[in-house]
Structure 1
Amino acid sequence: MRRKEFIKISGIAGLSLAIFPQFSFNNFSGEFSRNQLIGKGNPDIVGDSYTSKMHKTAKEAFHKMKAAAAKENINIEVVSAFRSFQRQKEIFEGKYKRFTNEGLTPEKAIEKIIEYSTIPGTSRHHWGTDIDIIDANAPRPANVLMPENFHGTGPFCKLKTWLNENSESFGFYEVYTDNGNRKGFKYEPWHFSYAPVSIPMLKAYKEQIDVKKMLSEEKIVGSEHFSEAFVTKYVKENIFDINPKLL
């Protein structure tokens, strides 16, 4: 079979063998600790900055994808990769304090935060498999991570077109797609996930992490406003309502 035919095969095992025959999902399935899953430590993360830290196999695949894009004069730049629990906590709590100080109720502040930002302990960036990317060869707008930059006359249109045609052959899939029926986080044309690792990590997360309990244990500012109904909805929509190819 050719690579394109392999990619169409559904299922975790099929995806892993299709894209990277040398990888076996047996190496990843069920081998994750709580700390790995919530961003508190992962020996497989390599790199020395928030733009270079990734899961080691995701990093290898990313460099192959970057080299291929460079042949089309596209310079894929990572603006965010691995994000630790502590860093996500700082982001979340900073926004929570700012929004509540501006007059929003705690519930409205949380609702506004989770339009784009995850609650610490629930971010896919904790796994080192997910990256936010732009084209460094294009003019750089003040706010790079805006959907309009990737469509119409936006500076990253060439990158987006190339990713649509090629990213999956390197194992990277868009996470929060432009699907009107999808709920949870808003459309992010810059956010891609390395499926051969992120799929089994998501499966392990679902099996091992009681999100309500975890959020309570971690004592996140504002967590007293995470009701049972809110957490149930958040898990369903923000964690699992993603590109079905990544489930």
Structure 2
Amino acid sequence: MLTVAELTGQSTTHLVAHNLCRPTVQLQAPVFAAYAAMHKAAAEAGLALDIASGFRDFQRQQAIWNRKYYGEAPLYNTDGAQLDYQSLSPGEIVDAIMTWSALPGASRHHWGTDLDVYDPRPFAAGERQLQLIPEEYDEGGPCHELALWLQAHAHDFGFFFPYRRYIGGVAAEPWHLSYRALAVQAQQQLTLEVLTEVLSNADIGGKEYVLSRLAELKERYIDTICDVNGQREDSGWLFG
């Protein structure tokens, strides 16, 4: 069980680093153990696997949220098309943010159970920058071969894709893996009461509006994920 501070990205006492990754990448120890086994299997299959992002703290998520809420960073629809910020209502801004970015305190990356993965080889020369967009994992993209392998094998190591397909909440994210056993516990811990208390004390854009809709937003964007027990899938990624 995580403490409320750990659950909401305000503490790192549940995390460790691992020599397979940059020191700044942190996860819970059992998650790294499962990742190491998966990393080894991928290498044996002739593939490279790396973590672009593991733990993300509350302050980082808050900065992402506020930049998007105040129009300092672009907003996109579920198809990845940029929206006209000036034409959006506060509610449309919040929905657009949550299609791609979590509320501070509610990110799965706070838990140390979730990680964004990619194939580092196409980016090693520095001529191409990883963007974590669906096209990089779709057919013809630099991470497509790895994506296919993960579809077939991530489940064997205890991982699943919470955003395997777009089902009305967060857009499809073929790079986002979640360690099932611990993530299920964390999601159960993240109650409406916990989230309300954390956000009430936070400096986030649109706070009053968010709090007024929090139960609905939590159900749609936080609780609505793909089947945690989903087995291997080979039907490709479903975007939009």
The TM-score bracket by the shorter chain reads 0.7 to 0.9
C-alpha spacing 1:113/1:151, structure 2 compared with 1 (3 Å) = same
Which residue is 1:36 aligned to? 6
Paired with 2:50 and 2:40, the residues of 1 have a C-alpha distance of 12
Of 62-71 and 136-145, more deviation after overlay is shown by 136-145
- Where do 5+ consecutive residues of structure 1 fail to align? 1-30
C-alpha spacing 1:51/1:147, structure 2 compared with 1 (3 Å) = farther
Q: Describe the SS at the equivalent of 1:192.
A: strand
Tell me the CA shift for residue 209 of structure 1: 4.0
- RMSD of equivalent CA atoms: 2.5
- Where do 5+ consecutive residues of structure 2 fail to align? 75-84, 231-240
Any conservation in 1 of the 2:163–2:172 contact (CA below 8 Å)?
Answer: yes
Paired with 1:36 and 1:89, the residues of 2 have a C-alpha distance of 16
C-alpha spacing 1:82/1:99, structure 2 compared with 1 (3 Å) = same
Which residue is 2:218 aligned to? 235
Paired with 1:32 and 1:131, the residues of 2 have a C-alpha distance of 18
Q: Give matches, 1:149-228, under 5 Å.
A: 149-179=136-166, 182-206=167-191, 209-228=193-212
Q: TM-score, normalised by structure 2?
A: 0.80
Identity, % of aligned positions: 29
Q: Which amino acid aligns with 1:38?
A: T
Tell me the CA shift for residue 68 of structure 1: 0.9
Paired with 2:228 and 2:97, the residues of 1 have a C-alpha distance of 26
Paired with 2:24 and 2:145, the residues of 1 have a C-alpha distance of 22
Tell me the CA shift for residue 86 of structure 1: 1.0
Task: Indicate whether 1:46 and 2:33 are aligned.
Answer: no
Q: TM-score, normalised by structure 1?
A: 0.78
Any conservation in 2 of the 1:51–1:78 contact (CA below 8 Å)?
Answer: no
Which residue is 2:233 aligned to? none
Q: Which amino acid aligns with 1:222?
A: G
Q: Which amino acid aligns with 1:238?
A: Y
Paired with 2:109 and 2:160, the residues of 1 have a C-alpha distance of 14
Which protein has the bigger helix share? Answer: 1
Any conservation in 2 of the 1:134–1:144 contact (CA below 8 Å)?
Answer: no
Any conservation in 2 of the 1:175–1:246 contact (CA below 8 Å)?
Answer: no
Deviations 1:124-160 (A, max 9, x none): 0000110011111235754531112212211211101
